[in-house]
Structure 1
Amino acid sequence: MQLAKFGHSCVRLSEAGRTLVIDPGVFSEASDALAGIDTVLITHEHPDHVDIGALTAAAEANADLRIWAPESVAQMLPALSDVVTTVGAGEEFDASGFGVRTFGGQHALIHSSVPVVANVGYLIDETVYHPGDSFTVPTAPVDTALVPIHAPWSRVGEVLDFEIALRARQAFQIHDALLNDDGKGVVYGHIRRIAGEYGTDFRVLDTGETVDVSG
């Protein structure tokens, strides 16, 4: 399976002619990620994870486009109601040939004054796990973890605890658009050192880079 990063939390997975995109948001290269794509998974409603304009354009260009997302996201896309399937935590489904399992259910807490929204983490083909904006650890083995390295709702210690708990063979960064290069260097250094102690190979992907995540 090939994994390509398109900025922030957006990734594209490809295998044997099947391709899907997760979280094409406004901080990512959403239009590029969605080009020629039939299948999209969205973790939650925040704009850095769902670019409504890019999704609408993709649906207009491709009549076969299908989207899986929480109910709150579906409500944001009334013009695409015929292509959106609502999902919650604890489900299993087939998305254009990819086996998908869902975990979590809610976004990580930012502050008591900020409403908590629905968030669904996706485990793809029992291999790649995208948690969205959460540190939910799935009740299933994870081979390749996508780790939110910086957010208004997290601190570095929580990022490290999440990665340790997953015990993934390898991990790549997501949710990195809010950090400058200096900040990324500090966080990456901690993650590489601590993750390595627990057997996880943490690597940094540049936007547009593709890697083979096959076991």
Structure 2
Amino acid sequence: MDTMKITRRFHSCVELAKNETTLLIDPGSFEVPANLAEVDAVLVTHIHPDHVDAEALATAQKRSPGLKVYGPAELREHADVDYTAVTDGDAFTVGDFDVSVHRWPHGAITESTPLPDNLGYLVDGRVLHTGDSFPDLEGVEVALVPVSAPWLKMLDVEAFLKTTKPTSFIGVHDGIDNDFGLALRKNLLTKLAEENGLNYLPLRPGDATEI
């Protein structure tokens, strides 16, 4: 099995690289990756700005017309880019990566807040990015787990880890936390990993691991 490199970018953005192929998932407006125009494909889970910077993505595609973009149908009205609309049950290949698409509801924020379609991506059957959701999907090697959001409680994270039991997990979606919040959350995630016999990878933006 070929080695995959997982690099945390900022907030919910993660870069996956294998052989000659590089993917970015959810390059949002909190901090746009410097290599956005250089990757092979971008996967968008949903249209919230912290998950996709529409202007930056359009600029990147103009610089690199071969940049492939995949996302929900709603992306068509949100970003001026050429892209492939995907939905639950779809599967596609980008270079050395095989990607399957799953549709899970976005976590509720308030009763009056409308929610977009939310997609999750399972890459090579090994690495799962859930967008803003906590699905029930077992057998995942590495889960990219949202850990801080207006729609989220640590009880949700705990329930997800107990139900899905990924071999390893990386906390993402923490761009709104200050240093105190990040330290608190790291301690809680470390404890949850120990209690459930899981491997917690406490990557910060710029950190990477290989699987």
Q: Which residue of 1 aligns with 2:119?
A: 120
Q: Is the 8 A contact 1:69 1:85 kept in 2?
A: yes
Alignment-mate amino acid for residue 58 of structure 2: T
Quick check: 1:170 aligned with 2:168? yes
Taking the aligned partners of 1:130 and 1:181, their CA distance within structure 2 comes to: 24
Q: Give the AA of the match of 1:65.
A: L
CA separation in 1, counterparts of 2:30 and 2:141?
26
Question: CA separation in 2, counterparts of 1:117 and 1:147?
Answer: 19
* Contact preservation (8 Å) 2:20, 2:96: no
- CA-based RMSD: 1.4
The 3-state SS of whatever aligns with 1:12 is strand
1:1-215 equivalences in 2 (<5 Å): 1-28=4-31, 30-77=32-79, 79-80=80-81, 83-138=82-137, 140-212=138-210, 214=211
The alignment-based identity, stated in percent, is 35
Residue identity in the other structure for 1:21 = L
Runs of 4+ residues over 3 Å off in structure 1: none
Letter in 2 for 1:45: I
Please list every run of 5 or more consecutive structure 1 residues that lacks an aligned counterpart in the other structure. Answer: none
CA contact (8 A) 2:11 2:30 kept: yes
Q: Deviations over 1:52-99 (max 9, x none)?
A: 12111110111111100001112212x32xx30011122222133311
Q: Which moved more, 1:19-28 or 1:98-107?
A: 98-107
Give how far 1:33 is off.
4.1
Q: 1:12·1:22 contact (CA, 8 Å) conserved in 2? A: yes
C-alpha deviations, 1:165-191, integer Å up to 9, x for none? 221111111100111111122222122
Moved more, 118-127 or 157-166: 157-166
Amino acid paired to 1:38: D
* 8 Å contact kept, 1:41–1:67: yes
Query: How far apart are 1:9 and its partner, in Å?
Result: 0.5
Partners of 1:96 and 1:74 lie apart in 2 by 24
Structure 2 segments unaligned to the other structure (5+ residues): none
How many residues of Structure 1 are paired with residues of Structure 2 in the alignment? 208
